[in-house]
């Protein structure tokens, strides 16, 4: 039940018992319990209430009805101390400030942002509504959990996404842990470009090579509901996460199979499969650069999802060489690429009979996505 729901419930409850201004009385009561002004009720209308907050509101509603008095009169008679009206914002902002300083001590990038996410996670609210939650006391149990997460993020440099256990990608929630690579915002550009390629097709078939958490496959399946999407990955552990994410997002048009690149498609059961689009965000970090990665990446993210233990082009070459066998006529092959790799990947694709139709830059002005179309001679 969110704030707007409880406000509506309270108004209807008081109206039922013939209060002359049920909306106003409800606003006063709820604002006092949440320790905010009445206007803020509508700023944070979607904020979920905790069980103890709902119970306090309901108990005061019942007392107002049984005694047939308004909220102002009730508080006057009971005394403000009966309600915990202490303003905890200053105290909680100080705790947040010290938390940010702790993360900064360990050189955590975006320390303030990460601290806010940790607080929001523990306090069961959104980061954007964190200031509203700061109106209440942070309990000892919550402070302990916050401290544990801060130590893991700061001293241990465990990625924030793994600590939270879930991360948003392309507007959808995804479970993430050390079995899979953390979905990056750069990859959303790949999804966006692929969506445009297939959105006007009648029943597009898509294959995602190296699906990992399933972020690309599931996002495309959700965005293009008439598509049939197949995600392939060599890692059974990654596929476990991908299937959990498929269920989480109710992506019924997405299927996952274990396969080393296209190997499973060579079996009799699948050898007739042809796709309108093959997409991949393969391991592209050169092995000599791997050990220079940030601690969060180096210590926790799966190595086989980051590097090909080669020059960074191994999977581009392998996928480009075989992709034409599994694409329909004029089918598309789309890659995410690393820094300064777009031209070399384009060359690899041309050598395997793909016409390059687009190279798309990311938000940092780096060439991030390469898209090719299968040539007729392939």
Question: In this structure, what CATH number is given to the domain that contains residue 320?
Answer: 3.40.50.150
pLDDT band at 167 (very low <50, low <70, confident <90, very high): very high
Quick: pLDDT tens for 88-118. 888 899 999 999 999 999 999 999 999 999 9
131 occurs within a structural domain? yes
Number of folded domains that form the chain:
3
Alpha-carbon distances of 177 from 153, 160, 239, rounded to whole Å: 14, 10, 12
Check residue 44 and give its pLDDT: 73
pLDDT band at 258 (very low <50, low <70, confident <90, very high): very high
Structural contact between residues 22 and 14, judged by C-beta atoms closer than 8 angstroms: yes
Q: Stretch 313-340: mean pLDDT, rounded? A: 97
For residues 377 and 371, the model is more confident at 371
Residues 317, 369, 171, 198, CA torsion sign: negative
Same domain, 184 and 153: no
- As beta bridge partners, residue 255 has 230
Same domain, 146 and 184: no
Euclidean distance between CA atoms 177 and 186, whole angstroms: 19
Q: Stretch 313-326: mean pLDDT, rounded? A: 97
Same domain, 302 and 268: yes
Quick: pLDDT tens for 124-141. 888 887 877 787 788 899
Check residue 94 and give its pLDDT: 92
277 occurs within a structural domain? yes
User: CB-based burial of residue 270 (10 Å sphere; 0-12 exposed, 13-18 middle, 19+ buried)?
Assistant: middle
Same domain, 211 and 343: yes
Same domain, 217 and 297: yes
Same domain, 144 and 240: no
170 occurs within a structural domain? no
- As beta bridge partners, residue 354 has 374
Check residue 80 and give its pLDDT: 55
Q: Which of 377, 376, 373 is nearest to 193 (CA)?
A: 373
Alpha-carbon distances of 103 from 22, 100, 110, 376, rounded to whole Å: 47, 5, 9, 55
Same domain, 223 and 272: yes
Euclidean distance between CA atoms 304 and 152, whole angstroms: 24
Same domain, 191 and 134: no
Q: What percent of the chain has a predicted confidence (pLDDT) above 70?
A: 97
Q: Which residues of 329-346 are buried (b: 16+ CB within 10 A; e: fewer)?
A: eebbbbbbbbeebbeebb
Q: Is the pLDDT of residue 378 over 80?
A: no
Same domain, 286 and 218: yes
Q: Stretch 25-54: mean pLDDT, rounded? A: 82
Mean pLDDT (the chain, rounded): 92
Q: Which of 7, 13, 11, 31 is nearest to 21 (CA)?
A: 11
Residue 142, domain extent: 89-157
């Amino acid at each position: 039940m969110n704030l707007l729901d409880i406000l509506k419930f309270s108004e209807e409850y008081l109206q039922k018992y013939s209060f002359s201004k049920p909306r106003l009385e409800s606003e006063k009561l709820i604002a006092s319990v949440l320790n905010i002004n009445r206007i803020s009720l509508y700023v944070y209308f979607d904020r979920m209430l905790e069980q103890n907050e709902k119970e306090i509101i309901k108990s005061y509603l019942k007392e107002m009805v049984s005694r047939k008095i308004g909220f102002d009169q009730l508080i006057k008679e009971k005394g403000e101390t009966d309600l915990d009206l202490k303003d905890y914002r200053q105290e909680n902002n100080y705790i947040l400030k010290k938390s940010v300083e702790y993360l900064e001590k360990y050189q955590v990038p975006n320390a303030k942002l990460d601290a806010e996410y940790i607080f929001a996670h523990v306090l069961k609210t959104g980061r954007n509504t964190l200031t509203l939650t700061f109106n209440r006391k942070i309990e000892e149990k919550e402070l302990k959990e916050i401290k544990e997460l801060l130590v893991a993020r700061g001293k241990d440099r465990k990625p924030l996404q793994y600590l939270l256990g879930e991360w948003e990608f392309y507007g959808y929630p995804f479970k993430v842990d050390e079995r899979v690579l953390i979905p990056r915002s750069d990859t959303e550009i790949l999804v966006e470009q692929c969506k445009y390629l297939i959105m006007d097709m009648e029943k597009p078939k898509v294959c995602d090579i190296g699906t990992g958490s399933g972020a690309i496959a599931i996002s495309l399946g959700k965005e293009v509901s008439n598509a049939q999407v197949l995600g392939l990955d060599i890692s059974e552990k990654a596929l476990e996460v991908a299937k959990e994410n498929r269920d989480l997002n109710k992506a019924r048009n997405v299927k996952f199979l274990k396969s080393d690149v296209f190997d499973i498609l060579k079996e009799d059961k699948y050898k007739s499969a042809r796709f309108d689009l093959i997409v991949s965000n393969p391991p592209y970090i050169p092995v000599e650069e791997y050990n220079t990665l940030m601690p969060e990446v180096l210590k926790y993210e799966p190595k086989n999802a980051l590097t090909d233990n080669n020059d960074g082009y191994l999977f581009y070459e392998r996928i480009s060489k075989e992709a034409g066998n599994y694409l329909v006529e004029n089918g598309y092959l789309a890659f995410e690429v690393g820094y300064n790799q777009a031209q070399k990947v384009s060359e690899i694709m041309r050598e395997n009979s793909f016409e390059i139709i687009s190279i798309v830059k990311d938000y940092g002005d780096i060439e991030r996505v390469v898209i090719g179309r299968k040539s007729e001679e392939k």
